[in-house]
């Protein structure tokens, strides 16, 4: 018998009735059973677990660099990961710290985990990228376990997996089964979008999200940092943008030091930070600190006093964007920037006589999407000259803007049929794409909505194998209209965990019952690690969340 269950026992009853719930909402209630994969989440590509188990002594167990590893003690990324995972595994153990710290070696002990970076360049001091090798192999056998990975990024994932294999036996002794795992992600881009404009998100919440993303093997933090409502990004070049455009110029901004901290915290967990600066729409907050950036709207022949999207007909606009995105390219080390480009409302442009004149000069007729394309094209050139790649929301593709071959098209609109058609159409044009439509986690509904997130598959559309290969992944989005630090974490987890497994594990990992069993344990583990991840269904965790 595998002993995973004793780590985190969850009970739930299968009664036909659901107390006092309106009848038409009653669902089939799941029953918890231990999965043969224990609490592994997301499920690795290949797993073999034996029935033999070893004990881990908190006083003697060590995570060490393998002698032949290309990453040694100077690789602080791994060293801090060792400490982090040691604390996850043994932190709550009431070990006899006062007893002599002898590394006694009981014959049934697992004494160490050797971490072996096999490639000459461990990438320890670099940043993760879309081409990073995230694979790893983990062999747990007595007396040592070995974690082999070409790069540190795979080692980070392997450490998480190792920590997920450790459980407590009935006496509370930390134990692990002999195991062989061979693992790599199905998709290269596995992201979470957080929105710090509709509500300001204190750094503490962002860091907690990154920490939890690592537990779920997400590797992209899509930081939707500014929007209509507020401009919390403190720009060195244009400080007046947040001075005027943030909810508050001191308490509700991200300073350069804050941004740096987020990026480094993410890097240490193998997570890329892709900022989004969405234009030409969604820019009301930009206009407060940057004169003449937005289009003045007209009421009849006079300016109405309100403003529309970025003004695409002024040279000053492009001078501003050049300087601004040059700063962004320096501040954010990732190879990609998200440029937005969604939901541009033409009403204001149409009302403005200067814009009308420009349309005539350019022979755009009445087609304002041509004006939008004109703007976007120039913006893309600016970003390209900074040697950055870009992501854009699907409208930019839909409007026929000329795009670089390596552009990533971010699909977010429509129902299932519509987004699947869009994925087919984008990939038929040879572009890479990533999917978000089915994963708008801000859209809450009663019951186990994680199952819907879990069932969506970004490669389920009509297309050739070549087309399918152009799908680089997806992102779960938590838009901020109804979310701030008070409710973000339990709303994100474990619902985003469903997306994490879809993007990491093999396509055929679709057993919803097995997923429920593993995810129930995974969520209790997140709770034990201090993350208020909400419950899937009636049940309990051995260590409940103690905050309020």
Nearer to its own copies, 72 or 530 (CB): 530
* Contact between residue 470 and residue 405 where contact means Cβ atoms under 8 Å apart: no
Enumerate residues 5-44 that contact its own copies by CB under 8 A.
11-13, 15-22, 25
DSSP 309: E
Within 13 Å and on the Cβ side, how many CA atoms surround 426? 35
Stretch that binds its own copies, among 72-80, 118-126, 320-328, 444-452 (CB under 8 A): 444-452
Is residue 412 involved in binding its own copies (CB under 8 A)? yes
For 30, 112, 415, 430, 441, the CA distances from 496, given in Å and listed in that order, are 20, 32, 20, 29, 7
Q: Closest distance between its own copies and the C-beta of residue 17, in Å?
A: 5
Nearer to its own copies, 66 or 536 (CB): 536
Stretch that binds its own copies, among 108-116, 118-126, 153-161, 226-234 (CB under 8 A): 226-234
Is residue 361 involved in binding its own copies (CB under 8 A)? no
Is residue 142 involved in binding its own copies (CB under 8 A)? no
Q: Closest distance between its own copies and the C-beta of residue 241, in Å?
A: 16
| Beta bridge pairs of residue 148 | 116, 137
Nearer to its own copies, 57 or 352 (CB): 352
Could you say which of 148, 174, 282, 525 contacts its own copies (CB under 8 A)? 282
Q: Containing H/E element for 181?
A: strand 174-183
Enumerate residues 252-271 that contact its own copies by CB under 8 A.
252
d(CA 240, CA 440): 32
Residue 243, SS3 per DSSP? helix
What interhelical angle do 203-215 and 256-267 show, nearest 10?
10
Could you say which of 70, 284, 311, 467 contacts its own copies (CB under 8 A)? 284
Is residue 244 involved in binding its own copies (CB under 8 A)? no
Could you say which of 143, 400, 447, 513 contacts its own copies (CB under 8 A)? 447
Q: Is 2 left (phi over 0), alpha (psi -120 to 50) or beta?
A: beta
Q: Which residue is associated with the tokens 């999407």?
A: 369
Is residue 323 packed enough to be buried (19+ CB in 10 Å), middle (13-18) or exposed (0-12)? middle
Is residue 230 involved in binding its own copies (CB under 8 A)? yes
d(CA 312, CA 310): 6
517 phi and psi angles, rounded to 5 deg:
-65, -45
Enumerate residues 70-89 that contact its own copies by CB under 8 A.
none
**Please, what sign has the CA dihedral across residues 49, 53, 56, 62?**
negative
Stretch that binds its own copies, among 41-49, 74-82, 193-201, 380-388 (CB under 8 A): 193-201
Could you say which of 52, 257, 444, 506 contacts its own copies (CB under 8 A)? 444
In the set 27, 33, 87, 343, the catalytic residue is: 343
Is residue 546 involved in binding its own copies (CB under 8 A)? yes
Is residue 241 involved in binding its own copies (CB under 8 A)? no
Could you say which of 94, 100, 204, 363 contacts its own copies (CB under 8 A)? 204
Enumerate residues 116-135 that contact its own copies by CB under 8 A.
none
Could you say which of 59, 90, 142, 202 contacts its own copies (CB under 8 A)? 202
| Beta bridge pairs of residue 410 | 393, 434
Could you say which of 194, 477, 478, 496 contacts its own copies (CB under 8 A)? 477
Q: Closest distance between its own copies and the C-beta of residue 247, in Å?
A: 4
Question: Is residue 534 annotated as part of the catalytic site, yes or no?
Answer: no
Enumerate residues 365-394 that contact its own copies by CB under 8 A.
393
d(CA 205, CA 347): 37
* Residues 6 or more apart in contact with residue 470 via CB below 8 angstroms: 426, 427, 430, 431, 432, 433
Residues in contact with its own copies, shown as a per-residue x/- string from 484 to 503 under the rule CB under 8 A: xxxx-xxx------------
* Contact between residue 470 and residue 431 where contact means Cβ atoms under 8 Å apart: yes
* Residues 6 or more apart in contact with residue 435 via CB below 8 angstroms: 411, 419, 423, 456, 458, 471, 473, 474, 475
Total of chain residues touching its own copies, rule CB under 8 A: 77
Catalytic positions, please?
A: 343
């Amino acid at each position: 018998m595998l002993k995973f269950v004793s780590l985190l026992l969850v009970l739930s009853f299968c009664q036909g009735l659901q107390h006092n719930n309106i009848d038409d909402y009653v669902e089939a209630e799941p029953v918890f059973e231990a999965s043969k994969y224990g609490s592994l989440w997301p499920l690795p590509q290949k797993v073999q677990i034996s029935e033999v188990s070893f004990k881990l002594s908190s006083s003697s167990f060590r995570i060490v660099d393998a002698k032949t590893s290309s990453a040694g003690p100077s690789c602080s990324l791994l060293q801090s990961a060792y400490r982090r995972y040691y604390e996850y595994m043994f932190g709550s153990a009431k070990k006899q710290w006062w007893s002599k710290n002898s590394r006694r070696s009981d014959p049934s002990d697992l004494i160490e985990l050797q971490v072996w970076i096999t490639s000459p360049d461990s990438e320890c001091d670099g940043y993760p990228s879309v081409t990073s090798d995230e694979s790893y192999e983990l062999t747990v056998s007595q007396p040592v376990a070995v974690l082999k990975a070409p790069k540190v990024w795979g080692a980070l994932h392997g450490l998480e997996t190792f920590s997920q294999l450790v459980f407590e036996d009935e006496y509370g002794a930390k134990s692990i089964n002999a195991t062989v795992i061979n693992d790599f992600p199905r998709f290269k881009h596995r992201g979470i979008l957080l929105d710090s404009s509709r509500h300001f998100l204190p750094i503490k919440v962002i860091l907690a999200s990154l920490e939890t993303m690592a537990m779920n093997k997400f590797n992209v933090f899509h930081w939707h940092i500014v929007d209509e409502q507020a401009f919390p990004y403190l720009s060195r070049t244009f400080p007046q943008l947040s001075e005027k455009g943030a909810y508050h110029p001191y308490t509700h901004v991200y300073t350069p030091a804050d941004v740096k901290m987020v990026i480094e915290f993410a890097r240490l967990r193998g997570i890329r930070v892709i900022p989004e600066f969405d234009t030409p729409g969604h820019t009301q907050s930009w206009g407060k600190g940057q004169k003449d950036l937005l289009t003045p709207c007209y009421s009849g022949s006079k300016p109405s006093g309100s403003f529309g999207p970025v003004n695409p007909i002024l040279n000053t606009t492009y001078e501003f964007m050049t300087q601004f995105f040059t700063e962004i390219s320096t501040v954010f080390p990732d190879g990609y920037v998200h440029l937005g480009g969604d939901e541009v409302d033409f009403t204001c442009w149409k009302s403005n006589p200067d814009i009308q004149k420009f349309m005539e000069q350019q022979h755009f007729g009445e087609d304002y999407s041509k004006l939008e394309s004109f703007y976007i094209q120039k913006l893309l050139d600016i970003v390209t000259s900074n040697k950055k790649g870009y992501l854009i929301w699907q409208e930019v593709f839909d409007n026929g803007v000329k795009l670089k071959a390596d552009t990533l098209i971010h699909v977010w609109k429509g129902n299932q049929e519509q987004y699947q058609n869009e994925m087919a159409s984008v990939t038929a044009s040879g572009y890479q794409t990533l999917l978000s439509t089915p994963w708008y986690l801000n859209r809450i509904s009663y019951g186990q909505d994680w199952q819907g997130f879990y069932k969506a598959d970004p490669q389920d559309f009509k297309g050739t194998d070549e087309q399918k290969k152009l799908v680089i992944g997806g992102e779960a989005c938590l838009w901020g209209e109804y979310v701030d630090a008070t409710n973000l974490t339990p709303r994100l987890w474990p619902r985003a965990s469903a997306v994490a497994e879809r993007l990491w594990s093999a396509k055929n990992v679709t057993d919803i019952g097995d997923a429920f069993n593993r995810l129930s344990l995974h969520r209790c583990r997140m709770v034990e690690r201090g993350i208020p991840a909400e419950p899937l269904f009636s049940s309990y965790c051995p260590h409940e969340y103690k905050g309020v």
